[in-house]
Amino acid sequence: MNFRISIKYIFSILTIVFVIFILAVVSVIDRRVTSKLDGVLWTVPAKIYSRSLEIAEGGKVNINNFLKELEMLSYEESSNPQNPGQFHYKENNIRLFLKGYKKQESGLYEISFEGNKVKSLKRQDGIRIDLISLEPMPIGGMYPSHMEDRLLLDWTQVPDRLVKILLAVEDQGFFDHYGISLKSISRAFFTNIKAANIEQGGSTITQQLAKSFFFSSEQTLKRKAVEAIAALLIEFRYSKQEILLAYINDVHLGQSGKRSIHGFGLGAQHFFGSSLKNLETDQLALLVGMLKGPSLYNPRRNPMNALNRRNTVLGVLRRDGLITEEVYMDLNIKPVKTIKPSFRSETKYPAFHDLVRIELRNNFEEEELRSEGLSVYTNIDPIFQASLENNIVLTKEKLVKKYGKKLEELEGAAIVVDIQNGEIKAVVGSTNPSQFGFNRSLNAIRPIGSLVKPFVYLSALEKYQDFNLTTTLDDSHLSVPISNNSSWEPNNFDKKYHGNVPLHKALWQSYNIASARLGIGLGFDSVGKTFKSLGIKKKIPQYPSLYIGSFEMSPFEVIQAYQTIASDGFYSPLRSIRDITDIEGKSALSYPYKIEQRFRPEPIYLIKFAMQQTFIRGTARGYKQSTIDKWNVGGKTGTSDDQRDSWFVGYAGDYLVLVWFGFDDNRPTPLTGRTGALELWKNFINDINPNSSTKTILPRINYVWTDIGDGKLSGPKCKNSILTPFIIGTEPKNIPSVRRRCGSMLEDESSSVIKKLKQVFEKKKSETN
């Protein structure tokens, strides 16, 4: 009797212990289910996008660049656009079926051009509209260590066709079971018994979700049991719609380098360059078919496997009556078409990504960037970026061919900004632009050479009662004591002295001695004030070689200073980011356009005249006058001591571009600013072909004919004459006797020319308005 009681007691204890153990296991799995499933949909890395191209009626458009952008966005040429992502171009007219983006509805639009302007913009129904927006290009992200990437979808973004295809192929009884399908399990059980191995799974979508979230891919009975418990708990805790949405957002669809592609939303973008709602039935069938083996059925690596798998899925849809026999036959013979992947690692554009990351970290924690699904919309222009990357490679190849293998290790950097608002449009930090690592556009601190001279000359021209463009500067031998036993004696690049020269000529010919003497006369305080107004934050060294470029800056710092000059004296902080939205599409942070007037417009006008002469007569000469006038160009070459650095900065149309070439170990190169950096600048500008730009007209500026050699009054019929701008009241008054005859009609001719110039400028201005 006592023995029976003891056995019963022990059995009861063991039963209680077992039940407690099972409850504990279930509780642990339940906690993992809720913590993972509640949180997984929010663990989304920040996405980084290019700017969205806006086309406005009456706005300027470079048609060739527009067509290139459509190609980069994976739009297809079609004689009769009927689906999102198709277009047809003929005789200044584009019929474009937009894919849709934010508030921009998908649909067919017609754009008519007249020259480089949008003449009209119409919807499919013929109604005229003001503006359309192309979708931005994904260019990178801020990924966690596991490099999982996904585009989070809500239920409204999931096409009904995808749900039907998914359930037909993966889990036909999804809405009837409670996480486990005994029918599927029994079928898989007998198949595996017959094969004496685990060959087939009987997992439901819920079980697949549990496996994806919590467990390894090993095929063991223990793992299957735990997976089944988790599936039951998921079904108990969440609705069918929530489970299906979690599955749609989490499935693994392949790798892009280190980046792991998860979810149908990102899969649609990665393989087809479009949103999920725009995909055709055959494209959805391909994505669903890939679930069986993302690598085996990857359409880029194994196109035949992918085609056969897609057709198998289409066969299932035909069998279940989801498509007709006729539709099946049409889709079955369609080729599998995918786009090239946008990027394979953290970013498509490493140098630009560094700029974005710096701006982001000023406002967000690292964890926010890697988990909260922010969308970062930048200012990068993908056409400009592609051109800059291509041309820095081609330019280096030409330089190596010209100068030999000694330039094989030549490095470079280049930056493109919008003059008016400081938006960064393109950046490269190496002659191998896709290379990660040292970003020379940000971190190469180099002597800027003659790029410093416009800053010195601007300091002088601000003192317009004392200096104008024809003020003579002394370019004779200069010796400046710097210690008891030594002196500093600068040389010109051509090793010659040029005597007295007009201020503007000294600048566009880049005479070192005249520039040094001018800077010494102005003083460090005066020049330092100009540096500060240009946005240069570095401490200014007080030694005379500063005035000819013995001053180190990064390419980013240099182009910020020149932006103020190019924009007529208005300073705008350079910025890579335009706007940031949260996971729900609401604005999280904006980067508004900031502007501050730092200089009066008249001195800037004068310095820009001299910088334009660089293209007409100086170190950047070579362009036709018509091209110079069209783009309203200006710029400056720079070469440091022993030709260790080759610089060029210049503006054309709406854009300012800076280029640097040199060696990382600072050894000499055979390049000057003209033979090196300028070559890349020209190749890039010629490639993008900026829209025309109108010249600023200031009421306080008056043009007078002067002599290029001595800077004194001249006339239009005199040799070596140049029509020179002056702030009213500072013009030279007397003409030398040797030029009185050729300058006898000076007043009439000058006023006539000025009137004609004003008429031309006013005409151009009216054409652009």
627 token code pair: 């091209």
Structural element, H or E, at residue 141: strand 138-142
Residue 424 burial (10 A CB sphere; 0-12, 13-18, 19+)? buried
Q: Helix, strand, coil shares of the chain as percentages rounded to 5? A: 45, 20, 35
Q: Can you spell out the DSSP letters for 79-134?
A: SS--STTEEEE-SSEEEEEE--BTTB--EEEEEEEETTEEEEEEETTS-B-SEEEP
Q: What is the DSSP letter of 341?
A: P
Q: Can you spell out the DSSP letters for 644-679?
A: -EEEEEEEETTEEEEEEEE-TT----S--IIIIIHH
Residue 668 burial (10 A CB sphere; 0-12, 13-18, 19+)? middle
Positions marked active-site? 170, 450
3-state secondary structure of 377: strand
Q: Token pair 């800059």 is at which residue?
A: 388
Q: Are 680 and 659 in contact (CB under 8 A)?
A: yes
101 token code pair: 């983006």
Q: How far are the Cα atoms of 99, 519, 525 from residue 528, in angstroms, in the given order?
A: 52, 10, 5
Q: Distance between CA 645 and CA 555 in Å, rounded?
A: 12
Residues 6+ apart with CB under 8 A from 647: 448, 449, 450, 451, 558, 637, 638, 639, 640, 658, 659, 660, 673, 677
Q: Distance between CA 297 and CA 308 in Å, rounded?
A: 9
Q: Token pair 């018509």 is at which residue?
A: 626
Q: In this structure, what is the dihedral angle of CA atoms 103, 104, 105, 106, given to the nearest 10 degrees? A: -140
Q: In this structure, what is the dihedral angle of CA atoms 370, 375, 376, 379, given to the nearest 10 degrees? A: 150
Residues β-bridged to residue 500:
474
Q: Are 706 and 730 in contact (CB under 8 A)?
A: no
3-state secondary structure of 140: strand
3-state secondary structure of 273: coil
Q: Distance between CA 17 and CA 389 in Å, rounded?
A: 68
Q: Distance between CA 451 and CA 650 in Å, rounded?
A: 11
Termini Cα distance of the chain: 108
Q: Are 735 and 742 in contact (CB under 8 A)?
A: no
Half-sphere exposure of 25 (CA within 13 A, CB side): 13
Residue 149 sits at the vertex; the CA angle it makes with 147 and 150, to the nearest 5 degrees, is 165
Q: Distance between CA 217 and CA 253 in Å, rounded?
A: 16
Q: How many CB atoms lie within 10 A of CB 727?
A: 20
